[in-house]
Chain A
Amino acid sequence: MAKMEIENVAIRGIATCVPENINEVSDYTLFSETEKKNFIQTVGVQRRRFAKKGTCASDLGVFATEKLLDALNWEKQSIDAIIMVTQSPDYPIPATAIIMQERLGFANTCLAFDINLGCSGYVIGLQTISSLLGKNKLKRAILIAADVPSGNLSFHDKSTYPLFGDAASATALEYNEEADKMYFISNSDGKDFDALYVPHGGMRNFAGPESFTIKEFEGGVKRNMTHMVLDGMRIFNFSISKVPEQIANTLMMSNASIEETDYFFTHQANKIMNETIRRKLKIPPEKFPYSIDEYGNTSSASIAVTMCHILGDTKTKVTGSFILSGFGIGLSWATAYLKLNSCLILPVSEYEQ
């Protein structure tokens, strides 16, 4: 069972960035006026950011990391590991984290690899990278969770095009004997892998000319086989049945309560889905913040983007108790309970080329 307690690791800082280009849901020409109103109200997205063609998750990730290292005053040569959580790699191979190691000027002694996860990726990324730090282990590490889902969206798919947005996050972690324990629970279920996936481009269905033929599906949806396919109802039912239980179990495991937890930062999937989770757990709305209205569903970056959107401040550092919970593509779901002590959380910044 992927249940873990991790000691002696402190999160020192979090930075996030989004592309400059704002895409308003009210400008989406495939929606009627009623559909726009319903989508904004129920799904919760008002606008999101789309990267310019050619801008990769790694470009946003490098930008966020540079900002964070500057603010923390960390030497680049002091970083022992870099993990990139992404489903928008620069190339199918090699791992994007290794390319970023060089771009960021990190030492060759640095461990670097990618994790192919989306919605749950921030939490599982934290779980993985924290496990590498310790007394006789690594001392400093950078976790990047970044995605450019806009590259895989069909304009003619109302279930995905207005929902997703591009963003990157960088998180700095350090071995520290005074740090509070962190608690993690993760789950996986590959049975419904095709509830959210890109059919072509891997080895199962190698990309060929037929991958780019536009086909028409139910409800006027048009897409090719390299576009993202989302079965919203299956993801919805999965999330509302699995996530509240996992959050409750994580609170129990850490001997914490909803009252003592300052904020529940969840993956920004879709407002109605997240609100169902919140209402089932009876979490007060003020402890359950959103960033989906401004940035959409930002995949693996969504939890950090929400933290920076709500708590971001260049001067005052953040102390408090938090639940972080990510759920979706895989299917995969993961929750962490952690206490931050004087953590620098920067406001969401705009990527400059």
Chain B
Amino acid sequence: MKDSIEHFISKIENEFEDIPEGSLNSNTNFREDFDWSSVNALILFSLLNIEYDVIITAEDIKPAETIQDLYNIVQSKTQ
């Protein structure tokens, strides 16, 4: 993947209106610190598809907890 984790985080912060810039880091637990709902999951999957051309399934995301985990999933799919 072309983006560093910092870049990846800033793209997520830009996509969600209610996430202030600079409020996420690689250890942020997106399920707990984030209003994690099916609607937000779609926004996130949409962003990852547009930016990195990856398809994330419900199965893929099950074990993931942090932003770093998400980054790793995207990275494994773009290799």
Contact = CB atoms under 8 A, between A and B. Distances in A.
Interface of A: 34-35, 38-39, 42-43, 159, 232-233, 236-237, 240-241, 270, 272-273, 275-276, 279-280
B49 interface: yes
B19 interface: no
Measured as residues with beta carbon below 8 angstroms from the partner, the interface class of chain B is 10 to 19
B57 interface: yes
B43 A42 contact: yes
A272 B58 CA distance: 17
Contacts of B45: 233, 236-237, 240
Contact of B46 (A35, A43, A275): A275
A38 B49 contact: no
Contacts of A270: 42
Contact of A240 (B39, B41, B49, B57): B49
A276 B41 contact: no
A42 B57 contact: no
Q: Secondary structure at chain B's binding surface: helix, strand, loop or mixed?
A: helix
A240 B38 contact: no
B55 A42 contact: no
B23 interface: no
A38 B41 contact: no
Given A275-B46, A279-B50, A38 B58 contact: no
A38 B43 CA distance: 11
A275 B46 CA distance: 9
Nearest to A43: B39
A280 B49 contact: yes
Interface string B35-57: 10111111101100110000111
Interface in B26-79: 35, 37-43, 45-46, 49-50, 55-58
B55 A240 contact: yes
Contacts of A34: 35
Nearest to A34: B35
17 contacts: A34-B35, A42-B42, A236-B42, A237-B57, A240-B45, A240-B46, A240-B49, A241-B49, A270-B42, A272-B39, A272-B42, A272-B43, A273-B42, A276-B46, A276-B49, A280-B49, A280-B50
